[in-house]
Structure 1
């Protein structure tokens, strides 16, 4: 079984690896474990190799575990089982992780045997309900629909021609509606590199996505630049609701 551990703290990563090696060995399963300290390192390998299970920390140096989970669901043909291991213990955090697609959630500090048991159970449950790669997933955001398998977009039922980079950018903006996204984060997930391919590349792609998907106030969207940081997309009805609450 191929297992990825995405955890930036070396001591914690080693504890997870030992717990998994011992736990899976008890069940007669050979575990081949690969450790990654950043989202970027994991993406580089996962884009070319498959994993049966991913142990995922919430806070990573270059992003969040939730964002990485969304990347897996969008761009991997074979989606692995995912067990979140994190210091977070609030009910809202657990619900967010499970709703994002994690198979299970365990808080730090963890008990090694429990971690191994949950990891094993996650792989079993996941294998029973994982859809085939041929099945398509369509996400709806009002008038906009995104088909993540075909990487195609639709507005009011009409297909809109997007490049791969434009589609990925649209997915991130819509899937993390209301959240400010840093330029480095967008470069990493859209182009696979933290260094910008060009000083105006992101701005040009933002302009194209805004125009092609009609992400303007006329159609209920507010796509703005966050000074010194990046971009944020919000639905105008959410902004109105926030204003009325103040």
Structure 2
């Protein structure tokens, strides 16, 4: 959520909306696997994805006569091949063009089929069956604008391209130097999740999902290890406007310690 007095950007508002995902696959077992992977919010998103499934080429053909909106589609190549080797006419909700596509290829695909698939111009490709963590990462990246603004929270600013954090000089009080710290991708995702929901308790399950820690058990110490590393790298002790607290058996809370930093 944005600071008081600052109008939220369109990008920030979009990230709060649940992502609409269309799974185009005729293998029930693999569809169930993907649906399970999408039961929690994607990295960088606050809402649980809204998932719909298209399981037959016949239904794909009906899309030629009606407009269907989605934020991203995951498409099985074998279904696409039977559909004519072209991407389905699914559009973005704003009507600004075709929805981005992740095409799933067989592990052993003949070279002519591979060349044909790669020539479709899909935004991303992966092999099937796709791992849960990989599916979530790829969909999260498909949903990000190519030139997304750098989110900032008071004196703190996130730079997604380099997975770094910048803290403005003299914040929150004179005498503090400017900081620029590079994080691992996992650490960056964790911090971004905590910042978006600062002053609120964020559950262990949500943090694990948002950082893609391979669907580890919420009682796993892996999350705590990453939080420990964040504390070692960043001034999250309240001295620079943010205090990271552990809430026993629930999760973590990142609190604003200066009035200007509170939500």
- TM-score (normalizing by structure 2): 0.45
- TM-score (normalizing by structure 1): 0.47
- The higher relative CO (CA closer than 8 Å, separation ≥ 6) is in 2
Higher helix proportion, which one? Answer: 1
